[in-house]
Structure 1
Amino acid sequence: MNRSKIVAIITGAVSILLAIAYLIVVQILDYRDMKPAPISQINSSVTFIAILLS
Protein backbone atom coordinates (compact mmCIF):
# COMPACT_ATOMS: atom_id res chain seq x y z
CA MET A 1 0.00 0.00 0.00
CA ASN A 2 1.28 3.42 -0.79
CA ARG A 3 1.28 6.33 1.60
CA SER A 4 -1.79 8.13 0.21
CA LYS A 5 -4.02 5.07 0.74
CA ILE A 6 -2.85 4.71 4.35
CA VAL A 7 -3.52 8.40 5.03
CA ALA A 8 -6.97 8.10 3.45
CA ILE A 9 -7.85 5.05 5.58
CA ILE A 10 -6.64 6.73 8.79
CA THR A 11 -8.53 9.94 7.93
CA GLY A 12 -11.71 7.96 7.24
CA ALA A 13 -11.39 6.05 10.51
CA VAL A 14 -10.87 9.26 12.49
CA SER A 15 -13.88 10.81 10.74
CA ILE A 16 -16.10 7.85 11.62
CA LEU A 17 -14.93 7.89 15.24
CA LEU A 18 -15.66 11.63 15.52
CA ALA A 19 -19.11 11.13 14.00
CA ILE A 20 -19.93 8.35 16.47
CA ALA A 21 -18.64 10.42 19.40
CA TYR A 22 -20.77 13.37 18.22
CA LEU A 23 -23.88 11.19 18.05
CA ILE A 24 -23.24 9.86 21.55
CA VAL A 25 -22.81 13.38 22.96
CA VAL A 26 -26.00 14.56 21.25
CA GLN A 27 -27.93 11.60 22.65
CA ILE A 28 -26.63 12.28 26.17
CA LEU A 29 -27.54 15.97 25.95
CA ASP A 30 -30.95 15.15 24.51
CA TYR A 31 -31.62 12.61 27.27
CA ARG A 32 -31.19 15.19 30.06
CA ASP A 33 -34.31 16.53 31.73
CA MET A 34 -34.37 20.17 30.67
CA LYS A 35 -36.24 22.60 32.91
CA PRO A 36 -37.47 25.94 31.53
CA ALA A 37 -35.97 29.15 32.83
CA PRO A 38 -37.79 30.81 35.73
CA ILE A 39 -40.25 33.51 34.68
CA SER A 40 -38.37 36.16 36.68
CA GLN A 41 -35.26 35.63 34.55
CA ILE A 42 -37.23 35.70 31.29
CA ASN A 43 -38.96 38.99 32.13
CA SER A 44 -35.71 40.71 33.09
CA SER A 45 -34.09 39.56 29.85
CA VAL A 46 -36.96 40.88 27.76
CA THR A 47 -36.85 44.20 29.59
CA PHE A 48 -33.10 44.44 29.07
CA ILE A 49 -33.45 43.70 25.34
CA ALA A 50 -36.26 46.25 25.02
CA ILE A 51 -34.07 48.89 26.67
CA LEU A 52 -31.20 48.10 24.30
CA LEU A 53 -33.41 48.31 21.21
CA SER A 54 -34.94 51.67 22.08
Structure 2
Amino acid sequence: MERSKIVAIITGAISVLLAIAYLIIVQILDYRDMQPAPIMQIILDLGIRH
Protein backbone atom coordinates (compact mmCIF):
# COMPACT_ATOMS: atom_id res chain seq x y z
CA MET A 1 0.00 0.00 0.00
CA GLU A 2 1.05 3.54 -0.55
CA ARG A 3 2.03 5.65 2.41
CA SER A 4 -0.90 8.04 1.90
CA LYS A 5 -3.40 5.18 2.09
CA ILE A 6 -1.88 3.92 5.32
CA VAL A 7 -2.01 7.42 6.82
CA ALA A 8 -5.64 7.78 5.73
CA ILE A 9 -6.61 4.44 7.30
CA ILE A 10 -4.85 5.28 10.58
CA THR A 11 -6.42 8.75 10.65
CA GLY A 12 -9.86 7.28 9.99
CA ALA A 13 -9.41 4.69 12.75
CA ILE A 14 -8.36 7.39 15.23
CA SER A 15 -11.37 9.47 14.21
CA VAL A 16 -13.76 6.58 14.77
CA LEU A 17 -12.20 5.80 18.17
CA LEU A 18 -12.51 9.45 19.24
CA ALA A 19 -16.14 9.52 18.12
CA ILE A 20 -16.95 6.37 20.10
CA ALA A 21 -15.14 7.72 23.18
CA TYR A 22 -17.10 10.98 22.87
CA LEU A 23 -20.42 9.13 22.68
CA ILE A 24 -19.52 7.02 25.72
CA ILE A 25 -18.55 10.11 27.75
CA VAL A 26 -21.77 11.89 26.77
CA GLN A 27 -23.84 8.86 27.76
CA ILE A 28 -22.08 8.63 31.14
CA LEU A 29 -22.61 12.33 31.84
CA ASP A 30 -26.23 12.14 30.70
CA TYR A 31 -26.86 9.07 32.86
CA ARG A 32 -25.99 10.91 36.07
CA ASP A 33 -28.98 12.32 37.91
CA MET A 34 -28.12 15.99 37.92
CA GLN A 35 -30.43 18.00 40.12
CA PRO A 36 -30.48 21.79 40.08
CA ALA A 37 -29.34 23.68 43.14
CA PRO A 38 -32.09 24.86 45.48
CA ILE A 39 -33.15 28.47 44.86
CA MET A 40 -32.09 29.53 48.37
CA GLN A 41 -28.57 28.23 47.75
CA ILE A 42 -28.34 30.27 44.54
CA ILE A 43 -29.57 33.37 46.36
CA LEU A 44 -27.01 32.86 49.15
CA ASP A 45 -24.22 32.31 46.63
CA LEU A 46 -25.08 35.55 44.83
CA GLY A 47 -25.26 37.47 48.10
CA ILE A 48 -28.84 38.60 47.54
CA ARG A 49 -30.70 39.39 50.73
CA HIS A 50 -34.46 39.50 51.25
TM-score interval w.r.t. the shorter chain? 0.7 to 0.9
Helix, strand or coil at the partner of 2:13: helix
Which fold has the larger relative contact order, with Cα–Cα distance below 8 Å and residues 6 or more apart in sequence? 2
What is the aligned partner in structure 2 of residue 45 from structure 1? 46
Q: What's the TM-score once normalised by structure 2's chain length?
A: 0.80
Structure 2, unpaired ranges of 5+: none
Identity of counterpart residues, as a percentage? 77
Provide the alpha-carbon RMSD of the alignment: 1.5
Matched, 1:27 2:41: no
**Length, aligned pairs only:** 47
Shift of 1:38: 2.5
Q: What's the TM-score once normalised by structure 1's chain length?
A: 0.75
Flag as ranges the 4+ runs of structure 1 deviating above 6 A: none
